[in-house]
């Protein structure tokens, strides 16, 4: 029996030391893993944030560029017919949209929907006004009619989308 107690005197402290060491090492490894995960997350945020801001900048620029006033200023030439201007406006909008299509990855679904709706509304307004004009109409008549139509709107579609995108960006930056 005394031999059993002697073995127990040696084994029990060794077991306690082993369990303590195992718990300490396990805790240290868990802390190290958590710290690495946080470092990786911080590095990801440092990388993604500038790209995300750039995407929002590009969408703001897109919305500004497809607003009817800006679009007409850049596209219209004095000798264009209404049909030529109509075609150039729609082509310009599609080109701008395709160029910025990848930015949706960095935006919320709601913001991207607002951008798509603004684009769709601008195209619809241009198409509607263009079909209401006679075939012999000039580009200046189309331009004037478009600007009058936009001025009559409660909220210009590009402005509404732009306000939404800016508000979302403000929430992200806080």
- Given this model, what pLDDT does residue 103 score? 93
Percent of the chain with pLDDT over 90: 76
On average, the pLDDT of the chain sits at: 92
Helices assigned H by DSSP within 67-138: 68-75, 82-100, 109-132
- Confidence band, pLDDT 50/70/90 cuts, at residue 4: confident
pLDDT tens per residue, range 19-43: 999 999 999 999 999 999 998 988 8
Is the whole model's pTM more than 0.85, yes or no?
A: no
How far is the C-alpha of 117 from the C-alpha of 28, rounded, in Å? 53
Give domain limits for the chain.
Answer: 51-173
Is it the case that residue 1 has pLDDT exceeding 80?
Answer: no
In the chain, the percentage of residues whose pLDDT exceeds 70 is 100
pLDDT per residue as tens digits for the range 83-106: 999 999 999 999 999 999 999 999
Give me the half-sphere count of Cα atoms (radius 13 Å) on the Cβ side of residue 137.
19
């Amino acid at each position: 029996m005394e031999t059993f107690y002697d073995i127990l005197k040696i084994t029990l402290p060794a077991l306690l030391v082993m369990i303590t060491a195992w718990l300490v090492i396990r805790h240290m490894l868990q802390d190290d893993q958590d710290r690495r995960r946080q470092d990786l997350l911080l590095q990801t945020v440092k990388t993604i944030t500038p790209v995300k801001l750039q995407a929002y900048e590009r969408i703001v620029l897109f919305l500004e560029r497809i607003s009817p006033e800006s679009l007409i200023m850049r596209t219209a030439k004095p000798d264009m017919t209404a049909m030529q201007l109509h075609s150039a406006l729609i082509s310009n909008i599609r080109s701008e949209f395709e160029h910025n299509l990848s930015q949706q990855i960095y935006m919320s679904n709601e913001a991207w929907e607002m951008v798509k709706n603004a684009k769709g509304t601008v195209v619809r307004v241009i198409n509607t006004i263009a079909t209401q004009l006679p075939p012999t109409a000039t580009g200046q008549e189309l331009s004037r009619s478009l600007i009058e139509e936009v001025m009559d709107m409660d909220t210009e579609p590009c402005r509404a989308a732009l306000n939404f995108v800016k508000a979302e960006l403000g929430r992200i930056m806080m």
